[in-house]
Structure 1
Amino acid sequence: MIDVAEHLAAVLEAARPLPAESHDVAAARGRVLRHPVRAAVDVPAFDSSAMDGFALRFADVTAVPATFRVVADLPAGTDLDPTLDTAEAARIMTGAPVPTDATAVVPFEDTERGLAGGLDPVTVVAAPRAPGAHIRRRGSDVSAGDLVVDAGVRLTAAWIGAIAASGVGTVSVSRTARVAVVSTGSELVSPGAPMRRGQIPESNSVLLAGLAEESGAEIVLRTSVPDEGDGPRRAIAAAEEAGADVVVFSGGVSAGAYEVVKNTLGDLMRFDRVRMQPGKPQGFGVTPRGTLLFGLPGNPVSAAVSFELFVRPALRALEGDAEVGRTSTRVALAGGWRARPEKTQYVPVSLDRTDPAAWVARPTERGPRGLGAADGLAVLPPRESDVAPDELVTVALW
């Protein structure tokens, strides 16, 4: 057997970043940046008011109350820059340019009548704390040329908002990975179809296609092939015709007599036993055109865990994502667990967050329903002694 890390290293070595493409920043959420983004403008682009109130000269309001003549009204978006003489102020709204002569902004709450007086004289009853009070200086957030987001970051709504605010309209991002999912087995029938003795609903392609889409990939083919014939090779040809970057097989990779993937693709894929439970039998290879081939076990939970450990990191690496793994945390494992000295165990768990300071991980029931209820995987490395009840373990969060 080989270690999980060894198998993953071979996968990531083959997962070369996909071509980059230019996208409008508004359409780039979920994509991975391929080049750093630097600010095109200062943020703020000018000295602006941080409050609704009155712009004035700080030296004129060292003693309060102090009354000022209001000489201008400055809404956001104005280009006016009124001159302010002694005891003169401009009514100003949040985000509006601060007059060049002003050295502070007094919030309307610190005046006698607030904003209700319009351009009538205003009386300040509480002095600003210092020169520059409530003024956001030009470039105080970001200066033109500053790094906004580095390459390798998957763009969230907050990141694309920051990029747009810095004056950048287009970004270079990775193309979406294209995935084909192929289930194997002569016993498979479509979900909901009539079944005879010995047949089962085909669910792995639905499961794995969903996991791939949740990882940001595009599904270009989803199909099943029987245990006889050259179905896997024909599926690869169809996948590559559809533009697939990755083909994921489930089933047909173990040691039985009808392991169709292993029996037909030995020239393209290597088949290993990996020190993990579930999911020991694994296949991986690359076609002459560079398409990544994954052979996962047929058991749905084993297939899902294998996808999580190997396929998902590969999809993220194809996009140039700087973070290919999951966020993990240390959590008490309720009830403990039986140790396995020869392999790492990946246990689907639900998280009890009743006490925010002390989460508890509870193993879910076996089978697909338990997988659906899981919040992550408890990772239990090889060890001789069993995991004690409420012992802290690492949980990779889904």
Structure 2
Amino acid sequence: MRSVEEHQRAVTDLIRARPPATLALSDATGLVLSADVVAPISLPVFDNSAMDGYAVVADDVSGAAPDHPVTLPVPEDIPAGRTDIPTLKPGTAHRIMTGAPFPDGADAVIPVEDTDGGAEVVRINAPTTPGRHIRRAGGDVAAGTTVLWTGQVVTAPAAGLASALGLAELTVQPRQRVLVISTGSELVTAGTPLAPGQIYESNGVMLSEAAREAGAEVVAAVTVADDTAEFIGVLDRYGVRDGAVDLVITSGGVSAGAYEVVKDVFGRDGGQGVHFVKVAMQPGMPQGIGKIGAPGSDCAIVTLPGNPVSAQVSFEVFVRPALRRAMHLPNPDRPRRTATLREKLVSPAGKRQFRRGLLDPETGTVTNYGPPASHHLRYLACANCLLDIAAEVTELPVGTPVEVWDLTT
């Protein structure tokens, strides 16, 4: 059987980055910059007031005090957004708002708290100094300065900075476009009454959300019966053969039974570019990878087992890190920690086992959570980590240090 490490490398090599794309800020947020961002303008663009108050000449109010206020006429109001900025004459004050352009002739702002707030005549109760409460043009960013760098994730503040600089788009590493296909004639959509022998579909919902959480775009999540024509029809409907999808993730149809639709479509011998392998792990032994679609479309396919825990653990081990690497996102791997086992565990020889666990970060201890069988989705839904048990380990006594994958970050 193939080792986990070998299959991880194979999946990583399979899922390739898309060419950089220039996207609107709303679409670029959360992605990685593929080009530096150089400021086309300065910030602030112009000198402006840092306070609501009055633009004045500092010398005119040098002797102001609460018991000896200076009174000045207020010939003009300068709200934010005013474009015809009147020059201040000595011996006067212009009422000015935060962010409003600072007038020529003035050299300071008196906060409204140091005045009586007069609209036509203002009484000023405190002195000031030249330059006080003025935001100078270029004080934040000078035009021509590199403000965001290649490889940086576009956060909300980064998008805000780009917008403040007048940029509506950024060049980024685009999201991987993922099509999720759940296979099985027994599957029905939640909300539909169950007939005998039917179960509600869960893998498509789970894997789609996992792909989105990893940073990918989910083109669609589709459920198909064990019917090769229906499966091929889905591939055609979503343009897999025409390059509209970067990655197809399937669940089910890859075991050794008679009705294995994924194997039936792509050839059980790997003759159509999809190779089915066994990986020395539990859960998640049956796996498949390959390229599908027209030549040059470069669409990858990763086929996962059908049992829910097997499918999700396989996604965590193989697909999530490969997707994030293809999008150049930071921290492709889940954080690994060493925790102390609070109970005895046994593990099958020759298979690397991933057990659901509850990690207590305060005590540094971990507890196995639920049985190892791959249909126990309940325990995976509440687990906060995976215990990673090496293939050569068959027994772990209480107190054994064990590596865990933190699923919370």
TM over 0.5: yes
Distance in 2 (CA, whole Å) between partners of 1:123 and 1:224 is 77
Structure 1 alignment gaps of length 5 or more: none
Residue in 1 aligned with 2:407? 396
Question: In the alignment, residue 49 of structure 2 is paired with which amino acid?
Answer: S
**Residue in structure 2 matched with residue 96 of structure 1 by the alignment:** 100
The aligned residue for residue 202 of structure 2 is: 203
- Give the structure 1 partner of residue 180 of structure 2: 181
Residues 119-130 of structure 1: matches in 2 within 5 Å? Answer: 119-125=120-126, 127-128=127-128
**Equivalences, count:** 386
Cα separation, 1, equivalents of 2:20 and 2:33:
9
Indicate yes or no: 2:86 matched with 1:75. no
Cα distance per residue 1:246-281 (max 9 Å; x no partner)? 111212334566655456251323334445443233
Q: Normalising by structure 2, report the TM-score.
A: 0.76
Deviations 1:82-105 (A, max 9, x none): 444555433211001223443332
Q: Give the Cα–Cα distance (whole angstroms) in 2 for the partners of residues 359 and 105 of structure 1.
A: 56
Q: Which residue of 2 aligns with 1:307?
A: 315
**Residues 1-398 of structure 1 aligned to structure 2 (within 5 Å):** 1-26=1-26, 28-30=28-30, 32-61=32-61, 63-65=63-65, 67=70, 69=72, 70-84=74-88, 87-109=91-113, 111-113=114-116, 115=117, 117-125=118-126, 127-128=127-128, 131-173=130-172, 176-191=175-190, 192-197=192-197, 199-214=198-213, 215-220=215-220, 222-226=222-226, 236=235, 239=238, 240-241=240-241, 243-254=244-255, 259-262=260-263, 264-265=267-268, 266-267=270-271, 268-274=273-279, 276-287=281-292, 288=295, 289-318=297-326, 320-323=327-330, 325=332, 328=335, 335=342, 338=345, 345-348=353-356, 365=370, 367-374=376-383, 376-380=384-388, 382=390, 385-386=396-397, 388=399, 393-397=404-408
Change in CA separation of 1:83 and 1:196 when aligned onto 2, cut-off 3 Å: closer
RMSD of aligned residue pairs (Cα, Å) = 3.9
**Is 379-388 or 39-48 further displaced after alignment?**
379-388
TM-score, length basis structure 1: 0.78
Deviation for aligned residue 1:78: 1.9
Aligned-partner Cα distance in 1 for 2:62–2:344: 70
- Structure 1 residues 39, 67: CA separation in 2 closer, same or farther (over 3 Å shift)? same
Counterparts of 1:257 and 1:220 in 2: how far apart (Å)? 27
State how far apart, in whole Å, the 1-side matches of 2:253 and 2:260 are: 4
Say whether the 8 Å CA contact 1:176–1:218 is kept in structure 2. Answer: no
Larger mean CA deviation between 147-156 and 96-105 belongs to 147-156
Q: Where in structure 2 are there 5+ consecutive unaligned residues?
A: none
Equivalent pair of 1:60/1:86 in contact (CA under 8 Å): yes
* TM-superposition CA deviations, 1:270-311 (whole Å, max 9, x none): 334445443233221112431111011211122112223333
Inter-partner Cα distance in structure 1 for 2:49 and 2:363:
44
Q: Describe the SS at the equivalent of 2:98.
A: coil
Contact 1:250 1:303 in 2 (8 A): yes
